Every structure is written in C-alpha cells, then in structure tokens.
Structure 1
Amino acid sequence: MAAELPEFRQAEEGCMAWQGISVRAVLWLAISGLGVSAFLTQVVLLRELMAALGGNELVLGIVLGSWMLLTGLGASAGRVAQRLRQPLAGLAWAQMVLAVLPLGQIWIIRACRDWVFPRGAEVGPAETVLVGLTILAPYCLLAGFLLTLTCRLLAPDERPESIGQVYFLDVLGDIAGGLLFSFVLVWLWGHFGTLYLPAFLNLLLAGALGYLVRSRPVMAMAGLLTAVLALGAATVDWELASTRRQFAGQEVLFQGQSPYNRVVITRLGEQVTFYANGTPLFSTGDPAAIEQKVHFAMAQRPQARRVLVLGGGLSAAAGEVLRWAGLGPDQLPPDAPPGQSPPTESIQVDYVELDPLLVSAGQQWIPPTRNASAIRVVTADGRLWVRSSSERYDVVLADVPDPVSIQWNRFYSREFFLEVKQRLTADGVFSLACASYENYLSPELADLVAIVHRTLREAFQNVLMIPADRIIFLASDGPLTTQIAERIAQHGLKTHSMRPGHLAGILAEDRLVALQRAIRPDAPINRDFFPILAYRHLRYWMRQFQVRWGVFLAALAVLGLWCLWRARPVTVAVFSAGLAGALLHVVLLLGFQVVFGCVYHRVGLMVTAFMAGLAVGAAWMNRRLGRGSGGALAGVVGALAAFAALLPAVLAGLDQASRWPGLNLICQVAFLTLAFGLAVLVGMVFPLAAKMAFEQVSITAGRIYTADYLGAAFGALLGSSLLIPLWGIGPVCGLTAALNLAAAGILLMRKM
C-alpha cells in the first residue's frame, strides 16, 4: 500500500494552481458541499417518496433505512478508492453527477409513479422497499463512496485523523443544509428550486478541483453543466411541468410548498381537489363526507354555540357547522348580500389548521362561506391549541388523519382526550373518526376499535360508535343518541346525503352491534409515550397486502445478529452508537412534539441542535485522539447507555414541568440541550473508533462508516414504525441502554 502514497502526496503538493489556496482547503469545501447536497437531497427525496408511496410510519422507516443502508454500502465499496490513479479528478466528476442526479430523481418519482402502479392504488411494503432502493441507490452509493475517498485524499500519509475530519466536515455541511432548508428554502421555493442550490455549489467546487489538477475536461464539463442548468432554471418552470405530468388529465390550478405539505390543487370537470403530499384531502362537490364529519356530533348538541374544529379541510367543516345556527346558504334568500344573516343566535367556530398554506389555498379556491366572520381561523398545532387554550366549547370536532404515524397518534392518546375534556363544557361532545368501515369488521379493525374505545373511556363516561364511511366516535359525560335523523329534521336542515333512509342504513342494529362486539375491557390504552394504536394501525394497513409480519421481523433480527456476529468489538460499538443516535433522536422528537406540538421552526431547532452536537463531539474527540483508548471508547458508549436509561424519566418530568407557564421556556431549552448532548456522545464515537480500529485509511473508513450507517438504518427502520409504537419509549430506551452497555463491556473485555 505504501507504493501508492506518493500519488496522493502528488495530488496535494503538485496541484497548486491558486496562490495562497491549498488543495486541502478546496477539499474541505468539497466535503462540506457534499454534506449540504446530501442533507437537502435526503429531505427532498424523502418528501417526494412519502407522497408517492403513502405517508405512514413504515414507509418513512423503509425510505430512511434504505438511504442509510445504501450509503453504508457505498462507503464500504469506497475501500477501492486507493486504486484510483487520479482521485481528485474522480472526486470532481462524481460531484458533477451528484449535482444533477437529484433533479432527475424528482422527475422520475413524479412522472413514473402512475406508470408503475395504477393511479390511486396503495403501494405495499415489498414494492416500497423495491422502489426506495431503486430510486435512492445511484445517489446514496456514490455519496457513500465519496466519504471513504475523501478520507483517503485528506490522509496521503495514512493518518487516522482524516476519518474524523471528514465526519466533522460532512456534518458541518449537514448543519448548513438543515438551516438553509428549515428557515429559508422551504419557505421560498419548491423541491426543484431547493436542489438548484446544492447543484450549483457542487458544480462550482467540481470546477475548482478541475482547475487545481489542470483537467480541461473537468472544467469544460462543469462549465457546460452550469450553463445548461442555469438556462433550464431560467426558461422552464420544472416544478409546474413535473406537477402537470404527475397529475396528467387534470388541470393544475395551484401548487405550492410549505414546511408541512406540498399542496396541489387540481380541477377535473367541475370538481376541485386539494392534495397534500400526494394524498387527496378534500374535493368540492362531495358534501356527504363533510356532512358526516359534522352532523353526527352537532345533532347531539343542537344548541351548541361554541365549536372547535381541529383540521377539517380548509374550513369546509367549519362552514358546515354554521348551518346549525341558520347561517348556511340554504337558510338565506338567494339575493341576500354576503354579510347578511338571519336574526338568530349565532355560532362561533374556532378552526385550527397547522399549515398556513392550506388556509390560504382554501380561501382562494373554495367558495366563501356566508358570515365567515363567525369562523376564527387559528394557524397552530391542534394539540398545542387544546392544551394551552383557556376557551370552553360545546363541541370539539377532531378531523385528523388516521394514526398512521406517531405524530398523528398524538390526537388519539389518553392524554389528548383528557386535554379535550378540559376544553369542553359539562356535557360537551367530542367527535373523532378512525379507519374505514365496509360492513365487515376484520380482526385488525376490531383491534383499532377496541383501543380507541377503551382510551376514550379513560376520559369520558359515554362513548357512541357510528359505522359511517369512517367509524365515528362520539364521547361525552352527557347523554348521546342515535336519533340523528330526528334531530336534523327538528332543526330544519337540508342535507344531501344524511337523509332518513340513508341514516337508517348507517345506524342499522346489526352494524351497531358489530361495533359493540369489538369492545374489550382488556384492550390496551393508547398513550403519548406508548403509541400502541400507531402499531396496530400499521398492522391493519398491512393486512391488505398479505404481508407475513413475523417473517419480516425474523428476517430483520437474523440480519442484525449476523452483522453483530461478524463485527469486531469497535464496529459493534459504532453500530450500537449509530442505532442509539437514531432511536433516541426519534424519542426526543416524539417527546418534544407531545409537549410543544408540531411547530416547524421549533422542530427544526431540535434537528439543528442534534447536528451541531455531532460536529462538536467529532471535533473535540478528533483533537484528543492521542489520548484515546479502548477504555475511552467504552466510556463514551457507556455514557450513551446511561443517557438512554435516564431519558424516559427526564421526558416525564419535562412533560409535567411544561404545564407551568413559567417553566415553558426552560423546558424548551432542556429539550435542545438533550438533543445536543446526545449528539455530542454519538459524534465522539466516530473518530475514537477510527483511531482504535485503524489499519489503512480506506479500509478503516469504509468499515467504520458502514457500521455507523447500518446502526442508523436499523434505528430508522425499527424505531418509529415498530419498536416505539409496540413497546413505548421506556422499553425502547431500556433496549438501547442494554445494547450500548453490552458493547462497552465487549470493548473492555476484548483488547484490540
């Protein structure tokens, strides 16, 4: 191997083309540029694939796990980097590929989804794995390869410090990309616009490397690609063009980007449909869905005058509520001016929507509701509003998606139901819908019904289940009735679908009895930190694909044990630290969103604090490598075990403390500190492990990066989609602590 070192020294010492600027400095910029590109590309492709494949927690885990796995494989393949004759030129060519590749990947995802799968069809787990690996492989394998290559370029004299330096510089790029996306790009541009930035940055750095090594082909190609990309960006709206291709056959009226959703509005004939992240939210000309969301609950309390609507699709549900006070268009003369209302007692509706883009889009494209002044629009997280508001309501309508993720599970937990009860009047009614009902109660659906019913009974004395298109749960401490048609008739409402004959079919005795049979007194209670409903809903979703859940879990277990069996003690420690970083970061984000809601800029600060901790930990340990030992690495991994063991108690304490207004800010700072501290420990592991296991730069870097990414892949795949929903955060943190404690013990018992 020593015979190849002069070539690397020549790459650094003989390629000085700019006075005062070294190849090493340009390499540092190139590595950080790769970090910027990797972060922005990961976020954009994750959002695109979630929209194309369906947005539940398993899909998220599969896509993130695939990204980590493929990057780790690419890093492992980077061991051959030492054979490259012109490594700097190779880096430049690779950066040009990474500059333009993500733009093509977005187009393929949007344009080809309906070629591969029927329009509107669900995509199963096996197809999700195949699509995720196929789409992500070109970028991730190459990006992982470059991590190992740049370690070799920074160490022509075979020093282990270069591995920690590349890790640090890559994380710096991640931090820059995270800050840019969270606080600038996501508010200004769509996904194509977001990826123009790393594209031009990588092309600029590739051209600089080409100039340093005096490679005219590299400089010419970098200049040509820059010119073509600039011309394309200036003359073609690729965001709109790809959206039209994605929604072929429909007229695209609007498309926009927000931190929470990619919103698209289309028109087909007279029907206008709103999409959020590829999922249809609401269509005009479909009054039946809106009527079912509103009237089952409002019929329980026709006299209600204060109503809270959480979500509900662009004020459509809020406008329907107003009809119970005679404020709807059917109760006004045709020639009545928009501001006029009948002389009757009014209803005040508070409509809470998380995404401001959905609110503005609804106001632009949905016909205005008469007496819209009776609707107060609040842009906030619905869970946070219920928890922090002092208002009291007669009816609360939670029109939220099924618990397909830990985030949405927050609206189905015991803690949320108790918070809703605090906002209700003495006999107020709470309405929630979950899952579809089609005259058959499968075991998985019966399981969902039992859990939601049991959890609601923890907060309310009475629970009524209605088998409409979705199963509607009505909860109250006051009386509840199935005499819906009579209440609607007494109030004089004119409905499109909720007429006596149709309601009689919905409320047929056999349908109601079928739901009652699902009730089990031993059903588990869904909680914020034990989101069992999210796991059971995942099983309910997977039922349609005939997935053998046990086989899937067994295969993952065998793969994980095989990796650990073949690994060396140091790589076991890196694997366990990578898994701990991924799992515990998810736990912290879950706790933060439970306490403070899904507020984008605050969650962005949590992610930024985590990445900053990785950089600080890696930089600090890289400067102290001379003092590193097996005991030092075992100590850091042991500290991770202690962090994991203590985290559940700390989160429970922060949850309680945050309820005191004076401690709210302190609790937010505490969460940021926890994220930073966790990441410092994880960041310290990487350079220390590289020093302990060092053989040759390419071999060691490939091995350590592979172990780190494999651990992160297992954490991403299993964390939020399986382990946390199935066990809760306490056992998950305990498992993480045990794994890291075992890794620390192995390090102490076996000397390298």
Structure 2
Amino acid sequence: MGGVRSSTDRASPVVAVFLAVGLAETVGQVLLVRELLVNFQGNELSLGVILACWLLLTGLGSWLLGKVAGRIPARPQLFVVTVILYAVVLPVQLFLARVVNTLVGVAPGQVPGLAAIVLACLIVLTPVCLLHGFQFPFACRILARRKGTAVEQVAGLYIAEALGGMAGGILFAYLLVHYFDHLAIAALTVVFNLAAALLLLSPVFSFRFFTGKLVIGALCLAAVLALGSGALQRLELLFSRRQWRGHELVSVENTVYQNIAVTRKAGQLNFFANGLLLFTSPVPDITFVEETAHFPLLHHARPRTVLLIGGGVGGVLEEIAKHRVEIHYVEPDPRIIRTAERYLPAGFPDDGRVTVEYTDGRLFLERTTGEFDAVIMNLPPPSTLQVNRFYTREFFKAVRAVLRDRGLFAFGIPSSEAYMTEEMLRLNRSIHTTLNEVFAAVSVIPDDYTILLASDDPALPALDAAEISRRLADRQLETRLFTSHYIEHKLGPERVSRLTGYLHERGEINHDRRPIATFHSLALWNAMFHPRLRGAFELARTVRAFWLAAVPPLLLLPLLRPPRRRRPAAYPVALALFTSGFAGMTFTIVLLFLFQLSYGHLYQKIGVLTAAFMLGLASGGWVMKRRINRLPGEVAVLGWIVVVLASYACALPWLALRLSGGYGVAGELPFSVLNLAGGFLIGLQFPLACRIYLRRTGSVAPAVGLLYAADLWGSVLGAFLAAILLIPVLGVVQTGFVIGALSLTAGAVLFIDSRR
C-alpha cells in the first residue's frame, strides 16, 4: 500500500485541494440548510431532518461510491472532475432549494408535512452529498499510491478536511453572510475551489490537461463576471420570486439571523421571517395586537415603564405607546426594524419614549440595571431549543428580578377553548406549572392563544372585567375591537374557570437543563400536521435513561459469531467510529444549547464553537498521525481512547452547566475549549481505526469509505435525537450519560476484539 514514484509525489497538492473541498462543503451546507429552513419554517424537528438527510446521504456516497472509487484509475486529474461537478451542482441545488416547495406541493407560508420535508431534502441535497461522500475515499485512494503509508495519507486528508470545515464556518459567520447574498457566496466558494483544483493540473501555465484548465477558467470567468456585473443579484431576485409564487415579492434579504421577505397579496403587505408570517399591513391582526398590549397593561394600576421582548413591529408597539409609558423594546435583528421603517405606512414609532435594544432578550435581562412595571413577551411557542430559553423557570426568575413591586409579566401560548388535545394540554400545563413555581399569582385570559399573566401581587387574580373596563375608560385609549363589552366577553367567569380547570393538573417543570416544553411543542406540531406519528411521540415522551441499558447487550451480540477468515472484521472499528460520530454531534449540540442560555443569538460566537470542534478533530488526527507507527496493541489503544471519551461525555454536561450558570469565565472561550477537547478525542480515532481496518483488507477506497460512512451515520443519529429527544426529555446531564454508555460499549467491543 505504500506508494512508489516519490519523485512525482503530489500528496501535498491533493491535501491542499481537499482543504478547499472541506471549506466549500461547509459553506455549501450552511447555504442549503438556510434555504431549506425558509421553506420549512424551521423548528428542531425540521432542522434535525435536514441535518440527518445531509449526513445520511454523504455517508451513502462514501460507502457505496467508495466501492466504485476502488475501481477508478487513481489519477489526481480525475479528482478535478469532481470539483468541476461541485461548481455546477451547488448553484443548481440552490435554485432547487428555492422552488422545491412547488415540486412537493407546498404553498408559500404553508406548514409542510414530514413526508414533504424528507422529499424536499432528498431533491435538494442528494447530488451535493453523494458527490462529497465520493470525494473522500477517492482522494484517499489517490494518496495511497504516493509515498508513505496509506494510513498517513488518509490521516493527512482527514486533517485537511477538518481544517477546511473550520475555515469555512468562520468565513461564513464573520464575513460572507454580512456582505454577500447566497448566490454570491456560492460563486465565491466555487471560484476558490476551482482555483485550488488547478494545483492538480500542474504545471499550471502549460498546455498539459488543457481541456480541464479551459473548463475551470471558463467557470471562474463566468462567476467573476456575474459578480461584477450585477447578474447574480438579478438571478437572486428571480430565484426568490419563484420561491414566493402566488405573491408579489416586494423585498427579500438574508441577515445573520434569518431570511426576511416582504410580499404583497390582495392589497396586504405580508412580513415573513424564515418563511413564518410575522405580521401584515396596513390591516394587522387587530385582535392579537390589542390583546397583547392592553390586557397586561390594564391589569397594572399605573404602568410607567414597559419592557417588550420581541414582536414589537406590526402594531404591538403602537398599542403599548397609547398608555403613555416609557418602552424598552428588545429585538436582536436590526433588519426587522429597518424593514418596518421602510414599508409600514406609519413607519416605526419614534417619539422619544421607545428605546430599541439590539440584543438577545435573555442577555438583556441578565445585564440590565433597570426595573419595569410590566414585561411583555411576544415570541413564538417554545418549539426550538433557542426559543425555549424564554419559557423556563430560570428565565421566569430573571423576569421577576427586574419587575418593580406589583409588576407583572405577560405572554401567550397556543391553546384552545373548545377542545385541547393531550399534546396541547401537556404544553399548557408545563408552562403554567413552571410559571407558578416562580410567581405568587398567575391569571389566564382564555382564547386560541391564551395570555398568561404572572405577578407577586396577590390582588392580580381578583381583578374582574369591570375593573379592567374602568381603567380602559380612565386612560382614554383609542381601540377598535378592545371595548368594555369585549373585555366582559373575554373575562367571563365561566370561560376562565373552564381553562383554569384544564390547567389545574400539575405539569412538568420546564428547566434550562431539561427543556421539556420543546418536546411538548414538537409533539403538538406533529399531532397537527403528522397525526400518524403521534404514537412515536407518545412513546418518546416516556423514554427514560435506564431503558438504554438494553442497548449494550445488543451491540455485543455480533461478537458471539466466530470471526470470518475470508472477510475483514469491520464491526469493532466501525462501531467505535459510529459512536464517536454520535458523541461529536451530540457534544456540539449540547454546548451550543448551553452557550445560548447565557449568550443568546450570538451566531458568530456559535460559529467559533463549531470551529473549535473542527480544530480539535484536526489536532487529534495530527497527533495520531505522528504516533501511529509506535503504538503497541492498536485495537486496545483505540479501546482506551473510546473509554476516555466516555468519561469525558459524562463530565461534559456538568462542566458546561457550571459555565452557563455564571461560575466560569465569561464568553465563548471555555465552551470552545470544551468542544475542542471533545473534537480532539474523536479526531484521535479515525486514523487509528483506518490503520486497524486497512491491516485486515488491502483495498483503501472501500475501507475508508465504510469507516467514513460509519462516522457520518453516527452523526445522523446524534443530529436527529439530541435536540428532539435526548436533551428535552432526558436533560443534558442524562444525555451525557447516554453518550458515555454507548462509548463504553464500543470500548468493550474493541477490548474483546483485541483478544480474539
């Protein structure tokens, strides 16, 4: 397997090109995921499906096409063909991502079914993922024919891909997304990738490989001309218009946080964020905006200062301002405000009483020294781990800390007066019970979107419709639907007592470390749009960590069979990489989740956390590459690495919780160090696993393809389960124990295999 032709060695150019491939793959992944989230109005379930499909398809490409790579001539020039294909495929798939809803029968703004989400992911992601899955084993086969051992070359390629992924993540978060549209980012990525591929067609300035150089030059020239002439901007607008068919597209832009689109239909302007309708103009949802503003403030005798967290544009701010109060409005994305100023008839309220805080709502509460008579929260339901941070006991305590004496807190959750499903009941009871854990008094205003009012004022529940109507008259508020008759109807004793009866039963407390409301929200969403899966969610709700005790014996079963002489035993090393892929993905999700608890919507910092994991992978691969020829008992060494990973998995949640709880160094540095350490332990494993397996088989590309696929498929399981099931249902601490148990089992399998 060691190569000859050292005089013509091209290992370094191949590795350099694959660093560019890793960068391009990361940027392309982020672009396509952002586009698909606009179509799916992304929650944790849809994001999990997208990531799972990406990793599953890339693993299939590595495993299945890796076998094909073993039969293709190992020429670097043929690898250039895959780079050229990526340059063509990425823009095409970006276009498909804009129009895929049409192909699967989903209208703009409509919530897609799970089958539609999976089908759309397969249409958009399959070509890109299969191509990248093929590139890794094929590049390994090319390098295996050069100087040095095949394992050293595979390790070098693994390190290059990790470093490229790290660079791609940092470039996208800190530079590209701030200054370029998605098509322009794709064009820049393609040009960089193609330019790097010229290294494999050396000497560059000669007529050798003229056809390949001509194609690369033509594609680069086309991309540069499109960037300079404004053609890409026009194409971007054309793609977006196809995405919003049936609407007149007025404006669209991608911000650091989301995609913001403004459409016109039937005389109404519709404002969307990531495909989710925020508000309409000039006729907003009058009932919603008036209830959101006036019910809380009329429950306070004399409000002077109000904190509004989210959802101010579109009417709520204007209604709050009618109470002649000082308003602090927290909105993390300044583009929302600018879009409102540009397109709303009345613009954005700016009479000196409104102070806009461009930051995360939870971060603002932790840092403010001000006090408020009322805190009104207008955010989506807790269907994602990011939003759930605003519905936990810890957040409610932070709100209580900034309220003045007799101050109140108000927000809404999905509900129903006519009939509540079990999923809706569990969500409502969880939030209601959590709120009661913090505040002395909680009142409800029933509707299909129930308003919850919380205060330490014991008189809050005693306020009736007559008193609220009197305050409405005294303040001389101009309202359209919010009248004394309407108040009497909404606060009717029978309606309130019926809803209170529903909520009387105690629900599960929603904690930072166990965000169960996210699971209940996803279960409710599933019951509404995918009722056939209700049984699966019902079973998932009852999962307990000790159930997983049945998994280790199942993983040990394959060892009961006698070893095969004619076929290499891939199972032990493949299982180790599968569990490490699962651990790596779950590590990252746990740390991102806990980092958000304290630092919120700081996406650049979250990009740094991901980059730290990739740096850890590269560092671990580099260390193992240097020491791999001096290791005695390679299988046992891999087993001990897995055991150390298991121990780290159990300790990680505790360490991260201490940091997110304010006991550690502020900022992203400690979280980055934790993720880097996890990446280092995982990075140690891939080169060593390849060494072990390649000793048992002589075919580089299929072997590497299988192991690379095992790593990716473990990541599939982590991406899908961590945010949907493990963290919400079990909590972050027990999630660490689950990772540890699986890793220990993989270590046991390796130790048994080392003695056979």
How has the CA–CA distance of structure 1 residues 256 and 602 changed in structure 2, closer, same or farther, with 3 Å as cutoff? Answer: same
Give 2:29's aligned amino acid.
Answer: Q
- Contact in 2 for aligned 1:306/1:393 (Cα 8 Å): yes
The answer to whether the 8 Å contact 1:302/1:324 transfers is no
Structure 1: distance between partners of 2:312 and 2:78: 51
Q: Which residue of 1 is the match for residue 741 of structure 2?
A: 738
- Using the size of structure 1 for normalisation, the TM-score is 0.90
Give the aligned length: 713
Q: Of 635, 641, 645, which residue of structure 1 is paired with 2:640?
A: 635
Q: Distance in 1 between matches of 2:675 and 2:349?
A: 47
Aligned twin of 1:493: 477
Relative distance call for 1:156 and 1:371 in structure 2 (3 A) is closer
> In structure 2, do the counterparts of structure 1 residues 349 and 232 end up closer, same or farther at CA, with 3 Å as the change threshold?
same
Aligned-residue offset at 1:81 = 1.0
Alignment of 1:173-572 (within 5 A): 173-210=164-201, 214-233=208-227, 234-236=229-231, 237=233, 238-268=235-265, 270-284=267-281, 285-286=283-284, 287-314=286-313, 316-325=315-324, 347-366=325-344, 367-368=346-347, 372-437=351-416, 439-478=418-457, 479-480=459-460, 481-483=463-465, 484-544=468-528, 545-551=530-536, 568-572=571-575
Give a deviation string over 1:283-311, Cα, whole Å, max 9, x none.
Answer: 12213322122111111115100100011
Q: Is the contact made by 2:262 and 2:271 (CA closer than 8 Å) also made in structure 1?
A: yes
Consecutive unaligned residues in structure 1, runs of 5 or more: 15-21, 326-346
Partner of 2:30: 43
Question: Are 1:92 and 1:205, in contact at CA under 8 Å, matched by a contact in 2?
Answer: no
TM-score by length of 2: 0.89
Q: Is the 8 A contact 2:411 2:453 kept in 1?
A: yes
CA gap of 1:208–1:646, structure 2 versus 1, over 3 A, is: closer
Answer whether contact 2:70 2:702 (CA < 8 A) is retained: no
Quick one: distance in 1 between partners of 2:90 and 2:226?
A: 15
Separation in 1 of the partners of 2:455 and 2:238?
Answer: 49
Change in CA separation of 1:186 and 1:446 when aligned onto 2, cut-off 3 Å: same
**1:316 deviation in Å?**
3.9
Residues 207-243 of structure 1 deviation map (CA, whole Å, 9 limit, x = unaligned): 4434569333322322332333334443422222212
Aligned mates of 1:79, 1:191 — CA distance in 2: 34
Within 5 Å, give how 1:593-604 maps onto structure 2: 593-604=596-607
- 8 Å CA contact 1:55, 1:404 repeated in 2: no
Deviation by residue 1:302-334 (Cα, 9 ceiling, x = unmatched): 510010001114374233211012xxxxxxxxx
* Counterparts in 2 of 1:147 and 1:549: CA distance versus 1, 3 Å: farther
Cα deviation per residue 1:56-95 (whole Å; 9 max; x = unaligned)?
A: 1011111101111111111112122121136423311111
Contact 1:616-1:683 within 8 A present in 2 as well: yes
- Code of the residue aligned with 1:437 in structure 2: it is S
> C-alpha distance in 2, partners of 1:536/1:267?
34
Over 3 Å counting, the alpha-carbon distance change for 1:614 and 1:644 in structure 2 is same
Counterpart secondary structure, 1:468:
coil
- Secondary structure of the equivalent of 2:390? helix
Cα shift readout 1:243-286 (whole Å, capped 9, x = no counterpart): 22222344433322221111122333543222111211121221
Aligned to 1:123: 112
Q: Is the deviation greater in 195-204 or in 418-427? A: 195-204
1:99 has 2:111 as partner: no
C-alpha contact 1:163 1:697 (8 A) present in aligned 2: no
What are the Cα deviations for residues 458-502 of structure 1, in whole angstroms up to 9, with x where unaligned? 110111122234121111111323524443233221212223444
- 1:565 Cα shift? 6.3
Any conservation in 2 of the 1:70–1:140 contact (CA below 8 Å)? Answer: yes
Between the aligned partners of 1:597 and 1:505, the Cα distance in structure 2 is: 39
After TM superposition, give the deviation of residue 582 of structure 1 in Å.
0.7
Deviation of 1:669 after TM superposition, in Å, equals: 2.6
Structure-2 residue corresponding to 1:71: 58
Match of 1:747 among 727, 747, 750: 750
Identity of aligned residues (%): 31
Q: What SS does structure 1 have at the residue aligned with 2:503?
A: coil
Q: Specify the alignment match of 1:672 in structure 2.
A: 672
Relative to structure 2, which stretch is displaced further, 518-527 or 457-466?
A: 518-527
Partner of 2:564 in structure 1? none
Aligned residue identity for 1:26: P
Kindly state the Cα deviation for residue 162 of structure 1 after the two structures are TM-superposed: 1.8
| Alpha carbons 2:109, 2:275 under 8 Å: kept | no
Distance 1:541 1:594 in 2: 24
Superposition RMSD in Å: 2.6
Secondary structure of the 1:646 match is helix
Q: CA separation in 2, counterparts of 1:681 and 1:611?
A: 12
- 1:548 offset after TM fit, Å? 2.4
For structure 2, the residue ranges without an aligned partner over 5 or more in a row are 559-569
**Higher mean displacement: 227-236 or 169-178:** 227-236
Matched, 1:648 2:653: yes
Which runs of 4 or more aligned residues in structure 1 lie more than 4 Å from their structure 2 counterparts after TM superposition?
210-213, 549-567
Residue 688 and residue 482 in structure 1: after superposition, are their counterparts in 2 closer, same or farther (change >3 A)?
farther
Counterpart of 1:172 (choices 151, 155, 163) is 163
CA distance in 2, matches of 1:550, 1:370: 48
Q: Matched residues in 2 for 1:554 and 1:218: separation?
A: 55
Specify the SS of the correspondent of 1:740. Answer: helix
Question: What are the Cα deviations for residues 143-173 of structure 1, in whole angstroms up to 9, with x where unaligned?
Answer: 0110110111111166212221111111111
Could you give the per-residue CA deviations for residues 495-526 of structure 1, whole angstroms, max 9, x where no partner exists? Answer: 12223444444434443233212224441100
Contact 1:206 1:218 in 2 (8 A): no
Contact 2:624 2:687 in 1 (8 A): yes
- Sort the Cα spacing of 1:497 and 1:606 in 2 relative to 1 into closer, same or farther, 3 A: same
SS in 2 for 1:303: coil
Equivalent-residue separation in structure 2 for 1:206 and 1:608 (angstroms): 24
Q: Does 1:149 align with 2:121?
A: no
Q: Which moved more, 1:76-85 or 1:60-69?
A: 76-85
SS at match of 1:448: helix
CA distance in 1, matches of 2:738, 2:126: 31
CA distance in 2, matches of 1:496, 1:664: 51
Alignment-derived partner of residue 26 in structure 1: 13
Answer yes or no: is the 8 Å Cα contact 2:48–2:719 preserved in 1.
yes
Assess if the C-alpha contact under 8 Å between 2:100 and 2:123 holds in 1.
Answer: no
